[in-house]
Amino acid sequence: MQIQLDHLLPVPLKDKILQRKSGIWNENIQFNPGSFVKIKAPSGTGKTTLVHYLYHIRYDYTGSVLIDGKPWSGYNRNETASLRQQKISVIFQDLRLFEQLTALENIELKRVMNSQPYCTVEKVQEMAARLNVTHVLNQSSKTLSYGERQRIAIIRALVQPFEWLFMDEPFSHLDEDNTSRAAALIAEECKTRNAGFILTDLDHDQHFDYDVLYQL
Amino acid sequence: MASIGLGIAMVLILIALQANTDFNQLLYSDKNQNETADFLVINKKVTNSMMGQPEKSVFSPTDIENVRKQPFVQAVGLITSSQFKVVAQAPGELHFATDMFFEAVPDSFIDVKEDDWKWNPGDRTIPIILPNDFLNLYNFGFSLSQNLPQISQETVKALPLQVVISNNLVSETYTGHIVGFSDRISSFLVPATFMNWANEKYAGTTTAATSRIVIKTADPSNPALVKFLDDNGYTANQDKLKFSKTRVIVQTIVSVIGFFGLILLLFALLVFSMFIQLVIASCRKEIQLLVTLGTAPRQLQRYLLKQFVPLYFIIGILSLVLVTILQYFAAGLLAKHDMVVNPLPGIGTIIGTVLILVLVYIVNVSTVRRYILQDQ
């Protein structure tokens, strides 16, 4: 799946951005399928905004985001839902879990959204074990720590098929050990699917073998 | 709450529909046909302004044609009356003599099937049909006051009557024979052949003016018929028409019930619609997150509808069952009075149930569709 940015410019940050040079904003960018992309951005430069544009939950921009050559505006609700079920996955900075559900229910919800689930129940348990969250699976997500919730959000993003994974500061509340475990899991899952990812974070890091680096 | 409203609305509408079916059955079905109800004798009202001008109270050919054309009139028969004097005497010791008159109707209107209902010129015996009411009048009024014996139908049929027919010039005697009794036409009937012959012989006319006509109608209490009679200044045997007023009242009541049911249905639909909006609004955040995570709008709609639609069907089925039970009891009650209605609900009621459920479903689907997608 091709992702292309054509002079993408967020309306709220327009003035700030036009005053400096950005690696992403207002440029013509092509993301090659299957590549691991890192976008470094200091606070306030629009990391989250970019991820929201890529995932098509915010629309206040000029320019366009092209998915397989077609701008997001050209996709109807059903097509968008289908893309989100099959082609693109996301880990939000604010996680966006259902507070009323348990950790496992949150994961299950995404897993069975597809009539033919991509991931088995056993695989979920396996991933939970790798990220040290097995013991909280049956707890209400309201009662989990942020780090635990973050790992649940990561697993949720990995139970579906995708060609691109968008991640916005995915390890912000994880210690070194959990971070490397999570990164290893994500890299594995992406390689299995021949998928690429776009990760935004504040600083440079060595969590992955990145193919491309951008400065926002 | 809305379910109760829908339930009540459905039951009311179904009752109205079923009552309609029942009435049609009571009035028109074969099992409920009542002989006297089918025929009406119509004459023009004799008003003060018309008195003394007998030609004004006869039916012109145009009048007759007009009646024949009416949709509720199945057949029209002209009643011809005698234009000569008739005196009838009972034989023997009965000492009963009276002036009378004869009338004749086409044979198809005679309700007494008699092979004896024939008369040829030269016959000295005239077959006569008496009204039942007349015999009752005699037996329970006249005879008791005059100290005369009461007579049974069989005796009357055995009695030969002496009938003297005269005009100003000649007078001849015939034998009258009662061959039957009629509930239908309140008159002394003779065969049409005799009437035409006698009229010509004694009165010199072959066609007498038609002062009364008899019509065959499916339903004498039909309000349209009553209106037609009123508009043209005709009257008919009143007691057969009085059902009409009752019927109009009952029909009005049933319509009002149905109308209230419809209004209630509208309100129920409105409440359901608002309830769905409320449910959707109260979990807007959840719905938004679901859509963000990739739930197709169709999946959401299907889920919401699954919460509501089974409820509607249950209400529909329950209403139908309730009406069926009511109808079963009603049929039982009516049967005791010799009135037959089907103990099962009519096809109209079932179609009504289906239509209402379809309407409710459509309203719900469109509401869900409209509000799920509202802020996407």
Buried b (16+ CB within 10 A) or exposed e, A170-206: bbebbeeebbebbbebbeebbeebebbbbbbbeeeee
pLDDT tens string A134-159: 999 999 999 999 999 999 999 999 99
Distance CA A85, CA A73 (A): 18
Instruction: Choose from B292, B300, B373 for mutation: most chain A CBs within 10 A.
Output: B292
Token pair 């509501």 in the structure block, residue: B308
d(CA A64, CA A75) in angstroms, rounded, equals 13
Cβ of residue A40 closer than 8 Å to a chain B Cβ: no
* Residue A10, C-beta contacts closer than 8 angstroms, at least 6 positions apart: A17, A25, A46, A49, A50, A53, A60, A61
pLDDT at A65: 95
Give the pLDDT score at B35. 47
Residue A31 bridge partners (DSSP): A3
The whole-angstrom distance between A165's CA and the closest CA on chain B is: 13
A113/B291 touch (CB, cutoff 8 Å), yes or no: no
Q: Using an 8 Å CB-CB cutoff, list residues of chain B that contact chain A.
A: 286, 289, 291-299, 373, 376
Cβ neighbour number for residue B332 with a 10 Å cutoff:
11
Q: Which tens digit of pLDDT belongs to each residue from B275-307?
A: 888 888 888 888 889 989 999 888 888 888 888
Q: Is residue B277 left, alpha or beta, with left meaning phi > 0 and alpha meaning psi from -120 to 50?
A: alpha
Q: Which phi-psi region, left, alpha or beta, contains residue B59 (left: φ > 0; alpha: ψ -120 to 50)?
A: beta
pLDDT attached to residue B256:
83
Contact B294 A85 (CB under 8 A): yes
For residues B27 and B170, what is the distance between their CA atoms, to the nearest angstrom?
51
Q: Are A215 and A184 in contact (CB under 8 A)?
A: no
Q: What share of chain A is helix, strand, coil (3-state, %, to 5)?
A: 40, 20, 40
Residues B249, B228: contact at Cβ < 8 Å? no
Name the stretches of chain A with pLDDT < 70: none
Measured CA angle at A132 (ends A127, A136), to 5 deg:
95
**How close is the nearest chain A Cα to the Cα of B286, in Å?**
8
Q: What tens digit of pLDDT does each residue of B57-92 get?
A: 778 888 888 888 888 888 888 888 888 888 888 776
The pLDDT value recorded for residue B114 is 64
* Complex ipTM value: 0.91
Contact B161, B90 (CB under 8 A): yes
Contact flag B297-A77 (C-beta cutoff 8 Å): yes
CB < 8 Å to A110, chain B: 293-294
Look at residue A160 and give its three-state secondary structure.
coil
Most A CBs within 10 Å: which of B288, B290, B293, as the mutation test of the A interface?
B293
Nearest-CA distance A4 → chain B (Å): 21
Q: How many residues does chain B have?
A: 376
Contact flag B373-A78 (C-beta cutoff 8 Å): no
Largest CA distance in chain B: 114
pLDDT at residue B54, as a whole number: 67
- Cβ pair B298:A84 closer than 8 A: no
Answer for the pair A61, A11: CB distance below 8 angstroms, yes or no: yes
How far does the CA of residue B270 sit from the closest CA of chain A (Å)? 28
| Surface-to-core class of residue B66, CB atoms within 10 Å of its CB (0-12 exposed, 13-18 middle, 19+ buried) | middle
Q: What pLDDT shows up at residue B36?
A: 47
Q: Is A81 on the interface with B (CB under 8 A)?
A: yes
Q: What residues form DSSP beta bridges with A89?
A: A165
Element (H, E) at A212: strand A212-215
Query: What residues in A contact B286, CB-CB < 8 Å?
Result: 98
Q: Is A20 on the interface with B (CB under 8 A)?
A: no
A77 reaches B (C-beta below 8 A): yes
Cα angle A60, A75, B306 (rounded to 5 degrees) comes to: 105
The 3-state secondary structure of chain B, one letter per residue: CHHHHHHHHHHHHHHHHHHHHHHHHHHHCHHHCCHHHHEEEEEECCCCCCCCCHHHHCCCHHHHHHHHHCCCEEEEEEEEECCCEEEEECCHHHCCEEEECCEECCHHHCCCCCCCCCCCCCCCEEEEEEEHHHHHHHHHHHHHHHCCCCCCHHHHHHCEEEEEEECCCCEEEEEEEEEEEECCCCCCECCHHHHHHHHHHHHCCCCCCCCEEEEEECCCCCHHHHHHHHHHCEEECHHHHHHHHHHHHHHHHHHHHHHHHHHHHHHHHHHHHHHHHHHHHHCHHHHHHHHHCCCCHHHHHHHHHHHHHHHHHHHHHHHHHHHHHHHHHHHHHHHHCCCCCCCCCCHHHHHHHHHHHHHHHHHHHHHHHHHHCCCC
In this structure, the dihedral spanned by the alpha carbons of residues B202, B207, B211 and B215, taken in order and rounded to 10 degrees, is 130
pLDDT in tens, chain B (376 residues): 667 777 887 888 888 788 877 777 776 666 555 544 567 788 887 777 767 766 677 788 888 888 888 888 888 888 888 888 888 887 766 667 788 888 888 887 776 666 778 888 888 888 888 888 888 888 888 888 888 788 888 888 888 888 888 888 888 888 888 888 877 777 888 888 888 888 888 876 656 667 788 888 877 777 788 888 888 888 887 666 666 677 777 778 878 877 877 887 788 788 878 888 888 888 888 888 998 999 988 888 888 888 888 888 888 888 888 888 888 888 888 888 777 777 787 788 888 888 888 888 888 888 888 877 765 5
Q: Does A59 touch chain B (CB under 8 A)?
A: no
Give dist(CA B255, CA A160) in Å, integer. 59
Residue B180: the pLDDT is 83
Q: Can you state the angle between helices B238-282 and B347-372, rounded to 10 degrees?
A: 20
CATH 3.40.50.300 fits A3-215, yes or no: yes
Cβ within 8 Å, pair A98-B296: no
| Nearest Cβ partner for B289 among A77, A83, A98 | A98
Tell me if B298 and A78 make a contact (CB, 8 A cut-off): yes
Delimit the domains of chain B by residue range: 2-31+244-372, 84-207
Interface test with B, best of A53, A75, A77 (most B CBs within 10 A): A77
> CB–CB of A81 and B291 under 8 A?
yes
Are the Cβ atoms of B296 and A96 closer than 8 angstroms?
Answer: no
